[in-house]
Amino acid sequence: MDSHEPFDVFMQECPSREIMQRLGDKWTPLVLLALAGGPQRFSALRERIGAVTPKVLTNTLRNLERDGLVQRTVFAQVPVRVDYELTDLGQGILEPMEILRLWSEEHVPKVLAARERFDARG
Amino acid sequence: MDSHEPFDVFMQECPSREIMQRLGDKWTPLVLLALAGGPQRFSALRERIGAVTPKVLTNTLRNLERDGLVQRTVFAQVPVRVDYELTDLGQGILEPMEILRLWSEEHVPKVLAARERFDARG
DNA sequence: GTAGTCGGTATCTAAAGGATACCATTGTGT
DNA sequence: ACACAATGGTATCCTTTAGATACCGACTAC
């Protein structure tokens, strides 16, 4: 049951905790999944994801870039073009994210039913 | 490449998106993982998780209860005892959460190195 | 010079998270 | 009777994060 890793998310000061919490940022999973198909431009990400504001998308992407999951490339064109793509490290997180996504999509009915039951009780 | 599910996290109004974003709440993964070993009391969860305040822990647990992932049981003892445990639905999300945890713990060095590189550039 | 494109930033408001103190219940010790 | 302790929270206040909206700078085409 115990982990044999040198890092442990249950140790309060362990960096792995912060990293896991970052992966669960509100928009991080969607951004990573949106990049699954290859490099994407900023505006394409905005369109694909839909409800995210530019400020927050920028922030999410900066964090991912800083953590080495995403590579940002600027093309000196006019108008300027910026591509975001997964690094090798970022590729490695795709599968867990897909699993999370599939779970969410598959269990919608059960979760909605549970909510109705809960709300009915008050 | 397209999903054949009736729900799609990339559809802005799809409940699956909200569900996935809830799974990525700041404390949700840790709470679910803390419940992996069986029922836990409120205070035990607080201790195990460490930096979470009671208000936020209550909130996280309420959301999980509402979504049917966690069962809350009150024992009429003195002092009162409250157990939280995973439902069947909640059990099903454990594996994805474990994967996320392992990824986070395994890739700490790479992420930290990426951060240093990023911050060095400014 | 006017308008359009792209990738953002600036500013302000609303919501979520965090720190700290406190409460209700009842058993026990004195 | 009285204070005290344990558990599982609330209540209050403050800070941080997210959201809405407007705008900017570089350049090009008209």
Q: Is the dihedral of CA A3, B100, B82, A111 positive or negative?
A: negative
pLDDT at position B24 is: 85
Q: How many CA atoms lie within 13 A of B17 on its CB side?
A: 18
The per-residue DSSP string of B46-109 comes to HHHH-S--HHHHHHHHHHHHHTTSEEEEEE--SS-EEEEEE-HHHHHHHHHHHHHHHHHHHTHH
pLDDT at position B108 is: 96
With distances taken from each CA to the C1' atom of nucleotide D10, the closest residue turns out to be B55
Residue A33, chain B, CB below 8 Å: the answer is yes
pLDDT at position B31 is: 97
pLDDT at position A52 is: 96
Architecture of the domain whose range is A15-121: Orthogonal Bundle (1.10)
In tens, the pLDDT along A22-75 reads 998 899 999 999 999 999 999 999 999 999 999 999 999 999 999 999 999 999
Task: Band the pLDDT of A1: cuts 50, 70, 90.
Answer: low
Q: For chain A, how many residues are written? A: 122
Locus of tokens 């009780």? A121
The Cα B38–Cα B30 span in angstroms is 14
Give residue numbers, 50 to 89 of B, with CB < 7 Å from strand D.
Answer: 53-55, 58, 61, 72, 78-82
Question: CB count, 10 Å around CB of A14?
Answer: 18
Does B54 contact strand C, using a CB cutoff of 7 Å? Answer: yes
Q: Which nucleotide is nearest to B61 (CA to C1')?
A: D9
Residues in chain B with pLDDT values less than 50: none
Residues of B in contact with A99 (CB under 8 A): 95-96, 99
pLDDT at position B58 is: 97
pLDDT at position B20 is: 95
pLDDT at position B78 is: 86
Average pLDDT of A100-113?
A: 96
The Cα B110–Cα B97 span in angstroms is 20
Task: Band the pLDDT of A4: cuts 50, 70, 90.
Answer: low
pLDDT at A3 over 60: no
Both structure tokens of B55: 């208000």
The Cα B56–Cα B38 span in angstroms is 21
Query: Judged by CB atoms within 8 Å, which residues 93-122 of B form the interface with A?
Result: 93, 95-96, 99-108, 110-115, 117-119
pLDDT at position A24 is: 86
In tens, the pLDDT along A72-94 reads 999 988 899 999 999 999 999 99
